[in-house]
Amino acid sequence: MILQSIKIFAHRGSKGTHPENTIAAFQKAAETGADGIEFDVHLSADGELIIIHDETLDRTTSLTGFVKDHTAQKLKTGDAGVKFSKQFIGERIPFLDDVFDWAKGNHLLMNIELKTDKLAYEGIEQKVIDAIRHHEMEQRVILSSFNHQSIEKVKLLAQDLERALLFEGIPENLEQILRDKQESGFHPDKNSLTEATNELAKTLGYKIRPWVANEETDIIKLAKMGVDVIMTDYPERAIKTVKSL
């Protein structure tokens, strides 16, 4: 059946039930049978690759201020579980190396979002590519960003790696952008993805991976549309829903 080919990616790990962007959340995704995880990467003051969603530490960790203003050593002292629930006290802020080390024990795909849309993070693209090569994760990663220039840099530096364009809202000139960029992944927000847009991207050869569908009605709608991946905070629910179709 066509629906069986749809993959489920756990957004920021299993964000709905676990502290986002932590190994605990990624492990939960693996245990529920997700096909992949999505997570976000920033740079520390001393140029280490840090897995966290916000530019600042305050919302999700025990630390405060900007990620870019702290050294890796300081970030290692942060707790990324305590703000979610007491059950997760002691969960660390992962580095990209930690995630790749963890990933060696499973086969999940990894959508790495370069968070270069708000801050510049000079050289982050090359650092992520170096880490991918070092851990031999080339076949398991998709690099995405709202900053399409960042994806352009990845294309120049590592033609072989899978890349994707992130969108929040659909620009009027979408067709031109997709034709000009010639990337392989189209990652729109779920509310903006219409049947027509889905067909257009598909016709142009793009894999379509909308974010973030948590309600059954949205999951069913996207599955019936024939997208390639559904990103969700609740992979268990999404897997069950897709299987029931």
Of 93 and 166, the one with the shorter C-beta distance to ligand G3P is: 166
Q: Considering Cα of 53, then 59, then 61, then 65, what sign does the dihedral take?
A: positive
Helix (H, G, I), strand (E, B) or coil at 158: coil
Q: How far is the CB of 146 from ligand G3P (least distance, A)?
A: 7
Residue 211 binds: one of Ca ion, ligand G3P, none (C-beta under 5 to 8 A by kind): ligand G3P
Site for Ca ion in 96-115 (CB under 5 A): 113
Binding of Ca ion by 40 (CB under 5 A): yes
Q: Which does 144 bind (CB under 5 to 8 A by kind): Ca ion, ligand G3P, none?
A: ligand G3P
Specify the DSSP element, H or E, that contains 165.
strand 162-167
Q: Whole-number minimum distance, CB 12 to ligand G3P, in Å?
A: 6
Residue 110 is encoded by which pair of tokens? Answer: 């990894």
d(CA 9, CA 155): 23
Residues annotated catalytic, as ranges? 11, 53
**Least distance between ligand G3P and beta carbon 64 (Å):** 20
Q: Which residue is nearest to Ca ion (CB)?
A: 113
Per the CB < 8 A criterion, the answer to whether 95 and 48 are in contact is yes
State which residue, 90 or 171, has the beta carbon closest to ligand G3P: 171
- Angle between helix 124-135 and helix 148-157 axes, rounded to 10 deg: 50
> What's the CA dihedral at 130, 135, 137, 141 to 10 degrees?
-50
Instruction: Give contact residues for Ca ion (rule: CB under 5 A).
Output: 40, 113
